[in-house]
Amino acid sequence: MSSRLVDDGAALLCDRGYEVTRPDSGAEPPGLATPDDDADPPFGPPRETAIDPLADADPTTVLSRLWTNRNHDRATLFVVDRRDTATAVAELLAPPLGVADADEAGRRTFYDGPDRVPLAEGGYAAVPARDDVEWREVGEGERSEASGGRRRGPDGRAANEGGEGERSEPSDGRRRGSDGRAAKEGGDSERSEPSDGRRRGQDGRAAGDGDDERADNEDGTAGGSGTESAAGGSSRLELRADGEAIGALDGVGELDHPPRAAFPYSYERDDDKRIRVRDFRGRPVETFGGVRAMREGGFAPVAAPLVPEHMLDGDVDGWWGVYVVADDALVTGAVGSAER
């Protein structure tokens, strides 16, 4: 299917005065189109355009491909079979760019990315395994009980309530990752590299960006008053389950190696290749043979959120379009914008 979609995208651009090549390198898009002097661009000004087939509108795939192409000063022509896929891409890239939702104040709910959250003390953030965990920006007036008191798990118990060796079990008993997708439970690797191949931090930024220090209280709660959100104003970033915070940061800028105390649990792979789960103070909780066993034991890695401004540092209008093969139609901009 991928090759066929590239052919369809290439035909569209050739008809508009572009010369299309097929790079052999896997690091390049499957098709690259260069405009002639008299080219008629399908969107935006004449510029080199990558032809990228899509099977679905996965946020990580769409944002990373657009980001990579834009960094190479080229536009992106996504090619899809179905209208609903094109609509989903257009919605993802419409304001507010690249997020699952945003309230009237501009505070956002984020999609999960493919990476994990690395911690300042080493290892990665973890939470009790359940399927309703999400990253969300919150304002001063809507902070949950957990962000002002002791860290609580999804079952409402404070982290390690009842002794060092205890842990809270997920209230629904389901053995799933923090992103709710059981399909990825087969592997033991802590994280995947970003799909664009760049050597960057878990939040999509170069290592070292935004390393603001903050004090942590003795009971495991985090200090600080939040950082400015994309819409302006102070916003705290909370990891929530069932409407209650189970982890909290001062803002999206703190995603690069936050302290262990910001989350109920952490995990690391020791020299013996076994995974050690610790509580927010670093005390041992349990040991597992791998990530799958850890999930089955009731703990899940925390997926780092996709933060658009950490991937795309400029306007995307005129830099992308979606060609719907079944309809022979081109969708650009927000949903409901002009089609050709």
Give 68's pLDDT tier (boundaries 50, 70, 90).
Answer: very high
In the chain, pLDDT over 90 holds for what percent of residues?
63
pLDDT score recorded for residue 174: 39
Poorest-pLDDT segment among 36-50, 148-162, 226-240, 242-256: 148-162
Is the bond into 259 cis (omega within 30 degrees of 0)?
no
Find, among 243, 301, 305, the residue nearest to 127 by Cα: 301
Give 311's pLDDT tier (boundaries 50, 70, 90).
Answer: confident
Which tokens go with 307? 């933060």
Backbone angles phi, psi at 207, to 5 degrees: -60, 135
CB–CB of 161/153 below 8 Å?
A: no
Q: What is the end-to-end Cα distance of the chain in Å, rounded? A: 24
Poorest-pLDDT segment among 124-128, 172-176, 240-244: 172-176
Give 28's pLDDT tier (boundaries 50, 70, 90).
Answer: very high
Q: Rounded to whole angstroms, how far apart are CA atoms 325 and 206? A: 37
Q: Rounded to whole angstroms, how far apart are CA atoms 171 and 154? A: 7
DSSP 275-295: EEEEETTS-EEEEESSHHHHH
pLDDT score recorded for residue 51: 98
pLDDT score recorded for residue 228: 54
Question: Which sequence spans correspond to the domains of the chain?
Answer: 2-97+312-331, 108-311
pLDDT score recorded for residue 208: 37
Whole-model pTM? 0.70
Which tokens go with 337? 């914008």
pLDDT score recorded for residue 315: 81
Find, among 94, 62, 68, the residue nearest to 80 by Cα: 62
What is the per-residue pLDDT across 8-19, written as a single tens digit (0 to 9) for each? Answer: 999 999 999 999
CB–CB of 330/42 below 8 Å?
A: yes
- What average pLDDT does range 82-106 have in this prediction? 94
Poorest-pLDDT segment among 169-178, 222-231, 307-316, 320-329: 169-178
What is the per-residue pLDDT across 240-279, written as a single tens digit (0 to 9) for each? Answer: 998 899 999 999 999 999 999 999 999 999 999 999 999 9
Which tokens go with 200? 């960057």
Give 3's pLDDT tier (boundaries 50, 70, 90).
Answer: very high
pLDDT score recorded for residue 235: 83
- What average pLDDT does range 62-66 have in this prediction? 95
Task: Name the DSSP letter for residue 7.
Answer: H
- Higher confidence at residue 184 or residue 322? 322
pLDDT at 195 over 80: no
Backbone angles phi, psi at 125, to 5 degrees: -70, 145
Single-letter amino acid, residue 316:
V
The CATH architecture that domain 2-97+312-331 belongs to is 3-Layer(aba) Sandwich (3.40)
pLDDT at 193 over 60: no
Q: Rounded to whole angstroms, how far apart are CA atoms 68 and 195? A: 9
Q: Kindly give, in sequence order, each residue whose CB lies less than 8 Å from that of residue 120, ignoring residues fewer than 6 positions away.
A: 257, 258, 259, 260
pLDDT score recorded for residue 114: 93
pLDDT score recorded for residue 232: 52
Q: Rounded to whole angstroms, how far apart are CA atoms 299 and 276? A: 11
Q: Rounded to whole angstroms, how far apart are CA atoms 289 and 213? A: 33
pLDDT score recorded for residue 25: 83
Work out the number of other CB atoms within 10 angstroms of the CB of residue 206: 11
Find, among 49, 303, 281, 284, the residue nearest to 165 by Cα: 284
- Mean pLDDT, the chain, rounded, equals 79
Q: Kindly give, in sequence order, each residue whose CB lies less than 8 Å from that of residue 188, ignoring residues fewer than 6 positions away.
A: 290, 291, 292
